[in-house]
Amino acid sequence: MKQHNSRYLPQSSPSDRPSFVSDHRSAMKEIARGQSLVTQLRAIVLPALQADQRCELVAQMFQDILDCSSKAITELQLQHQSDARPEDALVDDKKRVRRISSDDCIKEEGATANPHHQHKRRRSDDLVSLETPVPHYDGRQWRKYGQKHINKAKHPRSYYRCTYSKGQDCKATKTVQQQDESTGTDNPVMYTLVYHGQHTCKDNNGVNSGTDKSETSSDSRSSISTTCTDPCDHQTSLGDNKLIEKSADLVTKSMYEPLDMNPFAPLDLDSWELDTLLRFHLEPDN
DNA sequence: ACGATTTGACCGTC
DNA sequence: GACGGTCAAATCGT
């Protein structure tokens, strides 16, 4: 019998107890778990709220929580990188973290070089990673610009940039990669999200999406129309997606119908994501 | 027609 | 040379 939580939480394995590892590592893991929980909770709560100011406040609070934990992780990573090997990095994308950290002080963001050939490795202090079963419900609009098979990874990595990257020169990007170990029937599909840079854009309603004050604010107002069409993220082909989305759409519609979802209508959590969450939360232990 | 996604090619870093 | 990140033409969806 599995514990209920084990169905949807990134796990801290017993072997990760801090007896042989640094406090940094266990602290970062716990924070990451918290981020994952908040992400999932947000995906459930926001669409169910009435569209009013309280709703916006809730969304803002969710984002603030994520901001806090992200900053905490960043701080821990910076400290950790200075006194430990980078292979203790939070995500399993170890090689990349190592490369980024070595690249850290060499080139700065916004280099005036050719805009089409900016440096490929990015600063680690612009990097925030988290694990979640709902990779696309993060309150942002993203546009996919690439997908690549990563060495030794079963699933391709998808590359997204802010929808407003052109119009507002927003530098925020993110990568989404399905975790290899999440393919079992018992475990939820987990994704590793890595965010780079901060949003400098304003969303559709002219609300600053967050820069220094609050890295990713205004969840409640921005539309979450991130369309997830890459097969890896949905675990299905595009054609299958349509069928799944249709059936799942019935579920989500029946949930949402009583509500006036004005500000959240665009949020429109991908039905498969909500379905995934619901299954993990509602199904009895197996 | 327009915007988003896909995908092969290219480039920088290691 | 391998690898990861980005570009941009082709393709797709609305």
Q: What is the pLDDT of residues A160-184, one digit of tens each?
A: 988 887 777 787 888 998 887 654 5
Q: Which nucleotide is nearest to A194 (CA to C1')?
A: C5
Closest residue (CA) to C1' of nucleotide C2 is A151
- Residue A183: CA count within 13 A, CB half-sphere: 12
The predicted pLDDT at position A230 comes to: 43
Between A148 and A215, residue with greater pLDDT: A148
pLDDT in tens, A50-60: 667 777 778 77
- Protein CA at A65 to nucleotide C1' at B4, angstroms: 31
Distance, CA of A177 to CA of A159 (rounded, Å): 9
Name which of A224, A233, A189 is nearest A203 in CA terms. A224
User: Does residue A129 register a pLDDT over 60?
Assistant: yes
Type of residue found at A263: P
- Residue A164: CA count within 13 A, CB half-sphere: 19
Go through chain A and tell me how many residues it has.
Answer: 286
Q: Which window residues (195-224, chain A) lie with Cβ within 7 Å of strand B? A: none
The count of domains in chain A is 1
Cα distances from A165 to residues A14, A18, A120, A161, A246, in angstroms, run 42, 41, 17, 7, 31
Which residue range forms the structural domain that includes residue A183?
4-282
User: Does residue A258 register a pLDDT over 80?
Assistant: no
Give Cβ neighbours of residue A237 (< 8 Å, ≥ 6 apart): A231
A78 — pLDDT class (breaks 50, 70, 90): low
